[in-house]
Each structure stands twice: as structure tokens, then as C-alpha cells.
Amino acid sequence: MSAEELKLNVEKALDEIRPFLQSDGGDINLLSIDDGKLVKVQLVGACTSCSVNQMTLKSGVEMTIKKYAPQIERVINVE
């Protein structure tokens, strides 16, 4: 998968997640994809102060991104 295809797939995954985050007053932005393995995102809005945002990141965001782009190894939130 090319870098552009990878970015498109990660964006598709984020588009799938966004409605859930937005319904709670938050959102997520893609910052970068490093070495084709590490996705850096930024949780914004209500997600920044949410006590379960790390769980959301791991169980929701990372799992969904890996469904679209299996080569992704980690997703981290950059504050």
C-alpha cells in the first residue's frame, strides 16, 4: 500500500469513528503517519479532558485504524 493509500485508509477509519466522538463533544485529527507504522492523532474538544480518552484511543481508534490499515502498529495521541 502506498503512503497516499495508507493515509486515505487511516482517514476512512477516522471518519468511521468521528460521529461517536462528535456526539460527546469531541473530535480527532490526523497529525502524521510515521514510517508507515505509527499514527499520530490529536483528540480535541471534550476528548481532551475525558477520563477514558486513552481507552477510547486504544480500543476504538487504534482497532478501527488497524481494520483499514493492518500494517499500523501503534496509534498515539499528541496533546
Confidence of residue 53 (pLDDT cuts 50, 70, 90): low
Written as one letter, the residue type at 21 is: L
Mean pLDDT of the chain: 89
Cell numbers found for residue 76: 498515539
Give the number of C-alpha atoms closer than 13 A to the C-alpha of residue 78, restricted to the C-beta side.
10
CA 72 to each of CA 1, 26, 43, 46: distance values in angstroms, whole numbers, following the listed order: 12, 24, 18, 26
CA atoms of 67 and 44, how far apart (whole Å):
23
**pLDDT at 24 > cutoff 90:** no
Task: Over range 19-42, report the average pLDDT.
Answer: 92
**56 secondary structure, DSSP code:** I
- Are residues 60 and 70 in contact, defined by beta-carbon separation less than 8 angstroms? no
Whether 57 shows a pLDDT value over 90: the answer reads: no
